[in-house]
Amino acid sequence: GQSLEQPSEVTAVEGAIVQINCTYQTSGFYGLSWYQQHDGGAPTFLSYNALDGLEETGRFSSFLSRSDSYGYLLLQELQMKDSASYFCAVMGGGGGNKLTFGTGTQLKVEL
């Protein structure tokens, strides 16, 4: 099966940089994705990594190390609107493009 670990809460100040880590255990691995969910909203896709290295999308970057079964989401120039929950999700075996999600990290951005 698959399991993922990520911190439950992270707090940072506006304008800062924050890193949300995710470690995973999986049988079969196709990639690691990141989703954002605001309170009361639906999860929305942010990024994915299928290969080792850093992927950058604007203020957000995501990193993967397959040998360490580890990834992180990096948020730069934090804004108040970045306060949300962030989920890592692994695509392992089993077909159907199935994802297994972590328990989520609640990010609080303070002034």
Partner 1 sequence: DVKVTQSSRYLVKRTGEKVFLECVQDMDHENMFWYRQDPGLGLRLIYFSYDVKMKEKGDIPEGYSVSREKKERFSLILESASTNQTSMYLCASSTSTGGISYEQYFGPGTRLTVT
The site for partner 1 (CB under 8 A) is made up of: 1, 8, 30-31, 33, 41-45, 48, 50, 87, 89, 91, 94-104
CA neighbor of 86 nearest in space, from 10, 3, 2: 10
Query: Which is nearer to partner 1, 1 or 81 (by Cβ)?
Result: 1
Residue 37 burial by CB count (10 A; 0-12/13-18/19+): exposed, middle or buried? middle
Shortest reach from residue 46's CB to partner 1, in Å: 10
Q: Tell the smallest beta-carbon distance from residue 97 to partner 1 (Å).
A: 5
Task: Provide the 8-state DSSP code for 55.
Answer: E
Amino acid identity, position 12 = A
CB of residue 76 to partner 1, shortest distance in Å: 22
